[in-house]
């Protein structure tokens, strides 16, 4: 396993409370369990990633944990996120779900535990459990995913503990400014999932034009766009070269005129799920 040069370790930003989160993480949704997940995670860690984003529903927590152990990188240097699935909502279930994820990962704690989806009937009780998981040290930070402003307002109204993160689909073609502004106002770090539009819009001529102008690839432009906005970006790939490419985004910036072009591409394109109508 190669050892990355110190400058290759990805920069971090602080979550509310100070915990640093690396601003690029490897996503492993739809990365097949077994060797494909282990290979992707080991490769990412070997080239400087220090942040892995998994979930119970991705069915590869065991492989993420095993790859972390195989990597030789000390546990405390790696930021590991997993998520509570919809069938695990409710106070007791949520506590048990976290224990089960930790068991599968083979870890004593996760760095971030997220409520994957705003399930209507039980999410308040679930949040109470999340707060307890943080207090007990099983999750160093807690947050939510796919929460709209309405869902976030409900959490803030029912608890003194503000989510540290909201993970949502985010790229120039889906730029929900209302959610981003709300999160910024309340000190909630925004994570961009499906930042590459699942590959759908990488060939878009307007993305390619910015990429060509800056001598970068379309994928690098989409990841860097998120960083320019202060988001944490979670590109997924199973291919070593792409895993490297997607994180080679710290040697350039996107000038204001190109950011303006990219920011104007919003068309409400959901390539994953759309939580807008979630009750």
On whether the CB atoms of residues 258 and 77 are closer than 8 A, the answer is no
Cα–Cα nearest to 247, from 96, 45, 18, 87? 45
Question: What distance in Å separates the CA atoms of residue 175 and residue 255, rounded to the nearest whole number?
Answer: 18
Among positions 73-92, residues that touch ligand NDP (CB under 6 A) are none
Q: Which of 124, 272, 274, 278 binds ligand NDP (CB under 6 A)?
A: 272
If one asks whether residue 59 binds ligand NDP (CB under 6 A), the answer comes out as no
CB-based burial of residue 263 (10 Å sphere; 0-12 exposed, 13-18 middle, 19+ buried)? middle
If one asks whether residue 175 binds ligand NDP (CB under 6 A), the answer comes out as no
Stretch that binds ligand NDP, among 9-17, 131-139, 156-164, 238-246 (CB under 6 A): 238-246
If one asks whether residue 183 binds ligand NDP (CB under 6 A), the answer comes out as no
If one asks whether residue 103 binds ligand NDP (CB under 6 A), the answer comes out as no
If one asks whether residue 219 binds ligand NDP (CB under 6 A), the answer comes out as yes
Q: Which of 22, 143, 195, 226 binds ligand NDP (CB under 6 A)?
A: 195
If one asks whether residue 216 binds ligand NDP (CB under 6 A), the answer comes out as no
If one asks whether residue 62 binds ligand NDP (CB under 6 A), the answer comes out as no
58 is catalytic: yes
Active-site option among 49, 58, 113, 193: 58
Q: By Cβ distance, which residue is nearest to ligand NDP?
A: 27
First to last CA, the chain: 47
Distance, C-alpha 135 to centroid of its chain = 22
Q: 69-86 in b/e burial notation, b at 16+ Cβ within 10 A?
A: eebebeeeebbbbbbbbe
What phi and psi values does residue 180 have, to the nearest 5 degrees? -60, -45
If one asks whether residue 124 binds ligand NDP (CB under 6 A), the answer comes out as no
Stretch that binds ligand NDP, among 101-109, 131-139, 230-238, 247-255 (CB under 6 A): 230-238
SS3 268: coil
Q: Given the structure tokens 């919003």, which residue do they identify?
A: 266
Q: Kindly list the catalytic residues.
A: 58
Tell me which residues touch ligand NDP (CB under 6 A): 27-30, 53, 116, 145-146, 167, 193-199, 202, 219, 234-239, 242, 245-246, 272
């Amino acid at each position: 396993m190669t050892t990355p040069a110190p400058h290759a370790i990805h920069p971090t930003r602080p979550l509310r409370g100070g915990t640093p989160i690396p601003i690029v993480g490897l996503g492993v949704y739809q990365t097949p369990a077994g060797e494909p997940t282990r290979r992707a995670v080991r490769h990412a860690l070997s080239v400087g990633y220090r942040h892995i984003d998994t979930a119970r529903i991705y069915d590869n927590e065991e492989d993420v944990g095993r790859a972390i152990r195989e990597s030789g990188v000390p546990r405390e240097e790696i930021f590991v996120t997993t998520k509570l699935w919809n069938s695990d909502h409710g106070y007791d279930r949520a506590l048990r779900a976290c224990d089960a994820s930790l068991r599968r990962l083979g870890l004593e704690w996760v760095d971030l535990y997220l409520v994957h989806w705003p399930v209507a009937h039980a999410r308040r009780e679930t949040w109470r459990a999340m707060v307890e998981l943080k207090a007990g040290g099983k999750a160093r930070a807690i947050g939510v995913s796919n929460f709209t402003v309405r869902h976030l307002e409900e959490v803030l109204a029912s608890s003194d503990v503000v989510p540290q993160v909201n993970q949502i689909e985010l790229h120039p073609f889906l730029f929900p400014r209302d959610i981003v502004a709300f999160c910024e106002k309340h000190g909630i770090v925004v994570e961009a999932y499906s930042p590459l539009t699942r590959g759908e819009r990488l060939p878009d001529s307007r993305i390619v034009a910015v990429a060509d102008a800056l001598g970068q690839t379309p994928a690098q432009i989409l990841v860097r766009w998120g960083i320019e906005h202060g988001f944490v970006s979670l590109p997924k790939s199973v291919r070593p070269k792409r895993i490297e490419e997607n994180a080679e985004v710290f040697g350039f910036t996107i000038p204001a005129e190109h950011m303006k072009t990219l920011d104007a591409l919003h068309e409400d394109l959901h390539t994953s799920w759309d939580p807008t109508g979630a009750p």
